[in-house]
Amino acid sequence: MNYQNNLDFALQLDEQDPLKGFQSQFLSPKHNGKDAIYLCGNSLGLQPATARQYISDQFKNWEELAIEGFFMGDDPWLSYHKQLTGTLAEIVGAKTEEVTIMNSLTVNLHLLMISFYKPTNKRFKILMEGGAFPSDQYAMESQARFHGHAPDEAIIEMFPREGEHILRTDDIIKTINDNAGELALVLFGGINYYTGQLFDMEAITKAAHNIGAYAGFDLAHAAGNVTLKLHDWDTDFACWCSYKYMNSGPGGISGVFVNEKHFDNKELNRFAGWWGYREDKRFLMAKGFEADKGAAGWQLSTSPIMLLTLHKAALDIFKQAGGLVPLRAKSELLTGYLEFLINSINETKGDELFTIITPKNKNERGCQLSIVCKQNAKATFNYLTENGLIGDWREPNVIRLSPVPLYNSFKQVFETGRILAASVQ
């Protein structure tokens, strides 16, 4: 794409956009009476316009059916989650039975590590990316301690080479091979929250399996953002939140992937609860846990219907949009346009005022661009906010901007470039 730094070009791209109608299906914060430019979907997605009605319908079911809502009505709560797993499986590249919806992200990360972190006296180490989101760091620290290992000894953190911002895949694979006899688990974020780097999950999984370790991923910043093929990659497990790129509300419910090859593995530990018990026998209230089929057997508690309802409102829009293929195509164009405009500012000023630390290769990133501000970083971020541009600030000098294909336009990206350019005056 030969981008141009003018409004007419941006409007032309919007006119040609097959997803242009979806912006109206989301509610945006206002700035001076107009929609703000919201480029913070990497932290919290916008509210679907249908969410309020979806919730209202369930309030009505609760009012009119009470406990019978689990078995009666148009959306019986007992099987409500099954309306979502098909769409969700397509989004993460899985078989439907490999996906379930439950809990919150870090809770699920712990539950999956109970199954897939199986340390021995010799093979007890975890490999992760350095600077992972704090929840991942804390989860792995506490899991190591739970199993009697000091975190500093059990956890290997990988950082980019000196002078670089992103990890090289070759270095990750080399580190896996160098620690072949001690690694029990390789657990990365699918996309690093700070740099926006999309890791080569297929290559990491293969390398982990080659040395006898499990491979899992926290897909908080990847699910609903980039193309995933968890089943084809032979990934062992993954989990994600739904409130970022899947727009399912603050603290929205989490999803879980478990590869079908592990369904009948009796050597895997798991913490059990009644919602993970065989559905056909669940209400017999029998003693002795028998897991439900597939990933559903990792469930614990009764499904939170209101959270599932918000998730369904958002996933229904994904279905209407045709899934990740058209969304990803637009995403690459949107993010590329933002990158072009930022680079244009540097060229105009004759100085690299903004350094993009997210990979240039579109196959190594999603929507997000992480931008290092070389001068007056916090003042620049405040200027964006004061002029109706909502992004995300990370200490000490990084602004994260994420044009989301479902609800952001090329015009908004052009306006973002204009506001950024004005901020350095």
To the nearest whole percent, how much of the chain has pLDDT over 70? 100
Q: Which two tokens stand for residue 238?
A: 């993954």
The answer to whether 204 and 172 have CB atoms below 8 angstroms apart is yes
User: pLDDT by residue (tens digit) across 191-207?
Assistant: 999 999 999 999 999 99
What's the whole-number mean pLDDT along residues 391-419?
A: 97
Q: Is 410 helix (H, G, I), strand (E, B) or coil?
A: helix
The answer to whether 249 and 239 have CB atoms below 8 angstroms apart is no
Domains of the chain: residue spans and CATH: 7-47+323-423 (3.90.1150.10), 81-302 (3.40.640.10)
Question: What is the phi/psi pair of residue 17, to 5°?
Answer: -75, 115
pTM, 2 dp: 0.96
The answer to whether 199 and 191 have CB atoms below 8 angstroms apart is yes
The residue type at 326: P
User: pLDDT by residue (tens digit) across 331-378?
Assistant: 999 999 999 999 999 998 878 899 999 999 999 999 999 999 999 999
The residue type at 344: S
User: pLDDT by residue (tens digit) across 139-194?
Assistant: 999 999 999 999 999 999 999 999 999 999 999 999 999 999 999 999 999 999 99
- The model's confidence at residue 330, banded by pLDDT at 50, 70 and 90, is very high
What's the whole-number mean pLDDT along residues 101-118?
A: 97
User: pLDDT by residue (tens digit) across 40-80?
Assistant: 999 999 999 999 999 999 999 999 999 999 999 888 999 99
Considering the chain, what is the average pLDDT of its residues? 96
Report how far residue 355's alpha carbon sits from residue 398's, in angstroms, rounded to the nearest whole number: 9
Determine the pLDDT at residue 74.
87
CB atoms within 10 A of CB 379: 10
- The model's confidence at residue 271, banded by pLDDT at 50, 70 and 90, is very high
Determine the pLDDT at residue 1.
87
The residue type at 8: D
- The model's confidence at residue 425, banded by pLDDT at 50, 70 and 90, is confident
Report how far residue 365's alpha carbon sits from residue 361's, in angstroms, rounded to the nearest whole number: 7
